[in-house]
Structure 1
Amino acid sequence: MGHSKNLDETALWKEYKKKADAGSERCIWVKKVYEYATNYLKDVRRNFGNYTLHDETHILNVLYAMGGLLGDQISNLTVGELELLILVASLHDVGMVYTDEEQKAQYEDTETCKRFLREHYPEFMGSAAEEWTEDMRQWYLRSLHSERVAEVLHNEAWKELISQRPRDVVPLQCIVSVCEVHGYNPSDMDGNHDLDYLNANDVSPLFCALLLRLGDLLDFDDTRAPKVLCSYVGDNEKSIEEWKKHQDSIGFVYPASPSTEALPYRAHCTHPGVEHAIRDFLDWIEVELGNCIRLQKSCRKS
C-alpha cells in the first residue's frame, strides 16, 4: 500500500471518522486544523531552504507510518487517541515557522544562545548570532521548534481556530505536551506527568507521543526530497547528503499485524557515502525503537 495522498485516505482518519462521526463538530474541527497546518507549514521553507520538506507531505507520511505501526490493532485505540494522533502529526512542526520578529527575538535571547553554543559550538562562546554561519543559525532555530508549539498556537495566526476547539476534543495542553516531547531526549520522558493517562478523555498521551516520535523518524523516503527541489539546495555539503539519503530511500513496509520481526526496509544506494549515511540513520531508528519499547512499559496495558 502506497502513501496516502490526502487525509481521507489515511488509516487513522478512516478509523477516527467511524468512531467520532464524520459530521460531528469535533471531527470537522480536527480536519480544519489539519488543513490550516498544511498551509501554514509551507512557510518552513522561508527559513529552512536546505531542509527536507516539512509540509503536507510530511504530515501524511507521519500519519501513514503511525497507521503502519498500528496495523490491524488500530481499532483498539480510543476516539481521543485517534484524534490526538491526527492533531499532533499536523502540529508537531509548527515551531519551524518564524516571522522576522520571532527570529530576531530568538537571536537576542542571550541565555538560550549561550546554552546552544555551549552544547554544540563551544568555540563560538561569546559570539553574537551575526557572527555565526548560516548552518548554525538554522540549526539554532530548528533546535527550538518543539518547545515553541504552545507559543505558536497562541499567536495571531492560530488564535481564532484554537479558540474554536470543541469541548469534547482532547485538551490543548495535552496536544502541546505530545508535540513538545517529539524533540526531547527519551530520558526526559521518564516520569513526565504531562503524559499521564487522561481518564476523562480515555487517552494515553505517552503512547501517542511514542507513535509520533517513531512516525516522524520513519518518514524516510524520496517523497520528502523530490529531485526538482534538490536542485535548489545549493552547495551545502551536509544538506546535499541529507537530500540524497532520502532520494535513495524507498522506505519501510509495514506488516498487516504488528510483530516483533524486523521492519522491512528498502533503498537503492547510488554512492557508498549515501549508503553509509542511510545505515547510520537506520541505527538511529533502531535505538529509538528500543527507547520506545522501554517507555511503553509505562503505558496502560491496553
Structure 2
Amino acid sequence: MTGKAATYSGSFMKKLSGLDESKLFDQLNKAETNDATARHQLAGNVRWVVDHAQIISDQIVHRLPQYTLHNGTHLFNVLSIMEELLPEETLRALTPLECALCILAAFTHDLGMVMLDEDVKKYQETTGTPENQEWRRHCDAYPEEQRQIERWKKIRDSEPVRASEASRRISYLEGHLLAEFIRKRHADKIDPILHWLTRLEEEAKNQTLFHYGHFDFKRYLAQIGVSHGQRVSWLRETLVGSDKPDRFCRLAGGERVNVAFPGLLVRLADIMDFDASRAPGILYKHFGIENAVSILEWNKHMAITGWSFDDDTLTYEADACEHPIYEKSIHDFVNVIDREIQSVKEELNWQRRFLSSKGDHYQICLPEFVQPQIRAALDDQGHPVYIFHDLQFELDQHEIQQLLMGESLYADPALCLRELLQNALDALQMRDLRLKVLAKDPDARVEPTDALRSDEALQVRVTWGQDSATDREYIRVSDSGCGMTREVLERYFTKLGKSYYRSSEYEREQQILREHGFIVSPISQFGIGFLSCFMLADEIRIRTHPGQANHGVRAAYDVRLSGSGSLFWLSPGTLERQGTEITLYLKQPFQLDHDHERAIRWLKGHFDYSAQHGEPEEERQIFEQQKRIDPLWIIGRYVIWPLFPILFHLENHADQSVCLDDRFHGDVLAPIAIEVVTKKSSGVGFSRFSLGSPTLGISRLGR
C-alpha cells in the first residue's frame, strides 16, 4: 500500500517521547475484546516493560561503544516510525495483543545486545562451561586480533613508557572481540532476548508479565525481536513450521493475533531510523573510535539531518557532508533500506495471500522509491569541499570468464575437471587430518567431523553417463571429504576469487592441526577455478553434507546453478553421508567419449611409458577439436600420485572401474616385466624371485 503522505523533516519530525502519546497504546486501551480485565492488565504490563526496557537498553553502549545508539531515543523513534507506517484502518483493526506486540517489539528487539559484567564473566572466565566453549570458538575465529592482544601485552609488561598506550590498545581489541560476539548472538539467537524478558518478569515479581489472559506470548515476542536481523520470511516460516500456511496467526482469548505482522513493522522502523540522533558527536569523541568501519558507521549517521516520506518517495537529507566516503556510505545504506522495503512488500503479500480476506486488515504504508539528497559541505569560499562521483571497479562476469579462462589460462575447458579433483583431494585431506586430531585429542576445537562408517573410505569417485530424465550427458565428481556448511557456501564458494583456505577460520584450524603434529597444504582455491566449470557445463548441481548435520548451521544442502551469473538455488540436502558431490551437465557441443584402452594408450605416450608415444598425437588433437571428453584421459594427465584413491567408471558399470592411486603408474601404465626381472635375478645368484604386487619405490608425495 502506498500513497500516504507522512512528513518527517529535521526538527519538525513528530517523535514520541512517552507512551501516552502513542496511537498504538491508545488503540490497545480501547480495542474491542472479550475480556476487558485482561486488556487492562496487558496495558499496565506494557507500560511497565517500556519503562524498564529503556533502562536496560541504555547499557548497550557500554559494551558496544562503536555502534550507533540503541537507547530510549532510538526505541521511541522506532515506535514513532511503526505508527506512521500503519494506515488508520489497519490501526483500528488491530487486537489488543497485536498492539501490545508492536509496542513491546519496539522496546525489546535490541535487548539481546545487553551483557552485564556477570554475563561476560560467565562466558570469558568460567572455564569448561558451554558458554565458555562458545566464547573460545568465537575468539578462535579472530587469530589476528589475538596475536595483536598478546603483542601489546608484552609491550605493556616490558616497556613502561608505552604501558598506557598498550593498555588502551588491549582494551580496544578485547572490546572489539566482545562486541562482535554480542552482535552475532543478538542476530542469530532468541536466548539472549528471552534471558532479559525473564529477568523483567523477576524484577516485576510478575510471572504473567507477558500473558494476555491465559495466553503466554513471551517466546513469540523474543522471536519477533530476533527476526529483525534475519531474512524477511524467517518469522513466518518459523511460526508456521509444518502446520497450515496461515499458522503465523494464533488465537488468544478467542481473538486472532497475527504474530508475524509486528515483525515486519519493527524491522522496517529499525532500519529507517537513520539520523544523527543515533550517533552524537560527543560520544564519538569520548570513546575515541579507532576502527575505520566504525568511524564510517558513525559519520554516515551524523551526516543525516532529516528525512521525509511524501506520497510515494522516502528521502533522506544530508547537509554539509564533509567527505565523499560518507556520501557513498549513505547511498549504500539507502540502497539497503530500499531492498528491505521491497522484501517487506513481497512478504506482506504472502501473508495477506495466506489469510485471504482476513489479510486486508494488515496494510503498511510503503514508499515506491527511496532516495538520498546530499549536499557537500562548503569551504571558506563557498565552494563544495568535494565533487561526488559514484565510480568504482566492477567485475563483469562474462569479461572475467573470457579473460581468465581464455586461451592463456584455460586453453582446454575440460581442465575444470582437474580443478574439481584438486578440491576433492583437499577436502579428503582435511577430513582425514581432523579425524586423526580427534583420535589423539577428542576435545580439540577442529570442525565437527563424522567418523568413517564400516563401508566408507576416503576416496574420490568420478562417474559419467546420461541422465535418464533429461537425456543430458553429465560428469560427476564425488568425495567423502569434509563437505561444506552453509557459511562456507555463502562466504567463499559463491564469491569470485575468495578462498576458504585464505580465511581466518582456516588459519585457526591450521594452527590447531600444527599443534597436534599435522601440516596441511591445500592445492586448490575455490573461486575462479570453480567458475571455469561453466566453460564445460551450462548447469551444475551440488550436494554437500558437512558432517554432524543438523537443522541449523551444519545442515546438508543441495545447490543448483544455471550459468556463471545465476542465482544459487539452495534446498534441503539429500546427501546422506559427509562429503560433496558435484555434477556437471555438459553443454553443446561437448560430448562424452570414453574408451579404456585408448585412454591407457594415450597416458602411456604422455608419460613416455611407450615407445610409440608420439604416434597418437594427431589422433588426440582431432579428438579434442571435436569437443569429445574422456574423464580418465583428462584427469590422468594431471593427478599422478594422489593421497587418496580416485575411482573412474561409467555410471552403472562399476565392474569396469579404473583406480587412479599411487600404484597406477607402476601397475597399469608402466608395469614391471616380471619374467625379465626373474631371469636377471637368476643370473645374480637368486634361484627364486617372488614379486607379488609390484609398486614403484615412491612414497605418497602428494599430487
Scaled by the length of structure 2, what TM-score is found?
0.38
2: CA distance, partners of 1:129 / 1:98: 24
Q: Which residue of 2 aligns with 1:12?
A: 24
In the alignment, does 2:74 pair up with 1:58? yes
User: How far off its partner does 1:111 sit?
Assistant: 4.3
User: How far off its partner does 1:137 sit?
Assistant: 2.5
User: How far off its partner does 1:17 sit?
Assistant: 3.1
Alpha-carbon distance change, 174 to 279 in structure 1, aligned in 2, over 3 angstroms = same
2: CA distance, partners of 1:250 / 1:167: 40
User: How far off its partner does 1:199 sit?
Assistant: 2.6
2: CA distance, partners of 1:277 / 1:203: 39
Alpha-carbon distance change, 180 to 83 in structure 1, aligned in 2, over 3 angstroms = same
User: How far off its partner does 1:143 sit?
Assistant: 1.6
2: CA distance, partners of 1:159 / 1:129: 41
1:149-298 superposed matches below 5 A: 149-155=193-199, 158-161=201-204, 163-165=207-209, 166-168=211-213, 171-186=217-232, 188-189=234-235, 191-193=237-239, 196-200=248-252, 201-236=255-290, 237-255=292-310, 261-268=312-319, 269-298=321-350
Which whole-Å deviations, capped at 9, do the CAs of 1:241-270 have from their partners, x for residues lacking one? 222211211343345xxx7x2323322233
Whose helix proportion is higher, 1 or 2? Answer: 1
1: CA distance, partners of 2:48 / 2:148: 37
- The answer on whether the counterparts of 2:110 and 2:186 sit within 8 Å (CA) in structure 1 is yes
Q: Which moved more, 1:76-85 or 1:222-231?
A: 222-231
Alpha-carbon distance change, 74 to 253 in structure 1, aligned in 2, over 3 angstroms = farther
Whose strand proportion is higher, 1 or 2? Answer: 2
Larger radius of gyration: 2
Amino acid at match of 1:31: R
User: How far off its partner does 1:98 sit?
Assistant: 0.9
- The answer on whether the counterparts of 2:82 and 2:266 sit within 8 Å (CA) in structure 1 is yes
Q: Percent identity?
A: 28
Alpha-carbon distance change, 296 to 117 in structure 1, aligned in 2, over 3 angstroms = farther
2: CA distance, partners of 1:59 / 1:284: 21
Amino acid at match of 1:96: M
Secondary structure of 1:52's aligned partner: coil
User: How far off its partner does 1:225 sit?
Assistant: 1.8
1:49-198 superposed matches below 5 A: 49-72=65-88, 73-107=90-124, 108-111=131-134, 114=137, 133-146=174-187, 147=189, 148-155=192-199, 158-161=201-204, 163-165=207-209, 166-168=211-213, 171-186=217-232, 188-189=234-235, 191-193=237-239, 196-198=248-250
Tell me: higher relative CO, structure 1 or 2? Use CA pairs within 8 A at least 6 residues apart.
Answer: 1
Alpha-carbon distance change, 29 to 233 in structure 1, aligned in 2, over 3 angstroms = same
- The answer on whether the counterparts of 1:71 and 1:254 sit within 8 Å (CA) in structure 2 is no
- The answer on whether the counterparts of 1:83 and 1:170 sit within 8 Å (CA) in structure 2 is no
Alpha-carbon distance change, 193 to 32 in structure 1, aligned in 2, over 3 angstroms = same
Secondary structure of 1:103's aligned partner: helix
Secondary structure of 2:343's aligned partner: helix
1: CA distance, partners of 2:237 / 2:324: 42
Amino acid at match of 2:264: L
- The answer on whether the counterparts of 2:97 and 2:212 sit within 8 Å (CA) in structure 1 is no
Amino acid at match of 2:298: W
1: CA distance, partners of 2:147 / 2:341: 38
2: CA distance, partners of 1:65 / 1:98: 27
- The answer on whether the counterparts of 1:129 and 1:137 sit within 8 Å (CA) in structure 2 is no
Alpha-carbon distance change, 286 to 231 in structure 1, aligned in 2, over 3 angstroms = same
2: CA distance, partners of 1:129 / 1:210: 41
Alpha-carbon distance change, 199 to 164 in structure 1, aligned in 2, over 3 angstroms = closer
- The answer on whether the counterparts of 1:68 and 1:254 sit within 8 Å (CA) in structure 2 is no
The number of equivalent residue pairs is: 293
User: How far off its partner does 1:16 sit?
Assistant: 2.5
Secondary structure of 1:24's aligned partner: helix
CA RMSD across the alignment: 3.0
1: CA distance, partners of 2:139 / 2:335: 25
2: CA distance, partners of 1:41 / 1:99: 11
User: How far off its partner does 1:282 sit?
Assistant: 0.8
Alpha-carbon distance change, 93 to 78 in structure 1, aligned in 2, over 3 angstroms = same
Alpha-carbon distance change, 270 to 11 in structure 1, aligned in 2, over 3 angstroms = farther
Runs (5+) with no aligned partner, structure 1? none
User: How far off its partner does 1:188 sit?
Assistant: 3.7
Q: Which residue of 1 aligns with 2:616?
A: none
Secondary structure of 2:287's aligned partner: coil
User: How far off its partner does 1:56 sit?
Assistant: 0.8
User: How far off its partner does 1:78 sit?
Assistant: 2.3
- The answer on whether the counterparts of 1:245 and 1:278 sit within 8 Å (CA) in structure 2 is yes
1: CA distance, partners of 2:69 / 2:118: 23
